[in-house]
Amino acid sequence: MVRRLLPWLAVGATALTVHTAWNLHRLRRPSPPDGDVTEKVAVLIPARDEASHIASTIDSARAQRCVPRLSIHVLDDGSTDGTAAIAESAAQDDPRIHVHRRPDEPPPPGWLGKNYACARLAQIAEGEGAEVLVFVDADVRLQASAVAALVRELRDGDFALVAPYPRQESVGWLERLVQPLLVWSWATTVPLGVAERRQWASMSVANGQLLVFDARAYAAVGGHAAVRGEVIEDVELMRAVRSAGARAVTVDGSSLADCRMYESPRDLIDGYSKSAWRAFGGLAGSIAVNYSLIALYVVPALAAVFGRGSVRAWGFAGYAAGVAGRILVARHTGERVLPDALAHPASIVAFVVINKISWVRHLTGTAQWKGRRLTP
């Protein structure tokens, strides 16, 4: 059985890698404008227990070039680690920075914490007449030209939403296994050209670490209130935009921003397990995707190691195709290439295990993040 399947698996992995190369070739890479951005831009930073990151995030936001009408709003969502004090210290000598403290209390029924914090930030920005809303996670560091480049992309393409993917910084062993899959997954499977041309909601790809909205379009689709209970709110926001007939686009943000999402194996597992169950449209979809990934990228590697003759040859071909895809993505996004790409089968196994943990926690109601339980 495996002997008969291996050629097909190798061909399938190769086809997906060719698709990856095409996607990366056509992926938009925003560049800064020649002059200043004339619109009023609000950088919105929701923060909860981010004392180790918030200062560098604020510093990177305040260093933005070519955005003279910039305001920065930090919402401290009940932090217990000094996040608010650090943000307020940064705001003392910069009138563009505003810190808003909120008590440590559960969000309203039906809301998840981050979604509620973002909605409140947007309300503040809209009240001061912001024309562009830039949502930035509290652990993201922006390059000095990032906001200007993304606003230019927003306006030149007549988009309601621009969704860049920052460069993912991976340090620990589990980060290095799992984090590269964040970009690799959609670069390999989603036809970005079709997604942009057709604006199909089902092909939405976004990363909540950094989102840039036209303020009027954001309000028109209901903003974060429209996705108040969604754990993958970034993708759902893009779907809402496209479903409303507006335009949204995924772009390469690896040269504009970087982020280290998780600093320990436990944080990474908790972080992904809070949302991975929602990624594939239900339990049946998760099972189908997980088994497909194992078949395409783990079985050939095992055949290359333990097989003989043609089994080993086809196994190596399939393994090499998977590694090639990882190398393409890593080189394009500035992530570590080798030896990490060689461990692609182990990355897939790690992801499948985390996906299983996510489903168990979701079904038992034990998933939580930042000290708040996520109700299934």
Task: Please give the pLDDT value at position 375.
Answer: 59
Return the DSSP state at 274: T
Q: What is the mean pLDDT of each run of 10 residues along the chain (376 residues)?
A: 86 98 96 95 97 96 97 96 94 95 92 96 96 98 98 97 96 95 96 95 96 98 96 96 98 97 92 90 92 97 94 96 98 95 98 96 86 66
Q: Under 8 Å CB-to-CB from 243, ≥6 apart: which residues?
A: 201
Q: How far, in Å, CA of 181 to CA of 340, rounded?
A: 11
Q: What is the pLDDT of residue 369?
A: 75
Q: How far is it, in rounded angstroms, from Cα 371 to Cα 48?
A: 10
Q: Rounded to whole angstroms, how far apart are CA atoms 12 and 7?
A: 9
Q: What is the pLDDT of residue 376?
A: 44
- Model pTM? 0.94
Domain ranges of the chain: 2-25+272-367, 26-261
Order of strands across the sheet that contains 161-168? 97-102, 70-77, 41-47, 132-136, 210-214, 161-168, 248-259, 140-142
Burial of 93 (0-12, 13-18, 19+ CB in 10 A): exposed
pLDDT digits (tens, 9 = 90+) for 134-188: 999 999 999 999 999 999 999 999 999 999 999 999 999 999 999 999 999 999 9
Name the H helices within the chain: 2-26, 54-62, 83-91, 113-127, 146-156, 173-178, 181-189, 192-198, 215-220, 233-243, 265-273, 283-293, 299-306, 309-333, 344-364
Q: Which CATH architecture has domain 26-261?
A: Alpha-Beta Complex (3.90)
Q: Are 365 and 375 in contact (CB under 8 A)?
A: yes
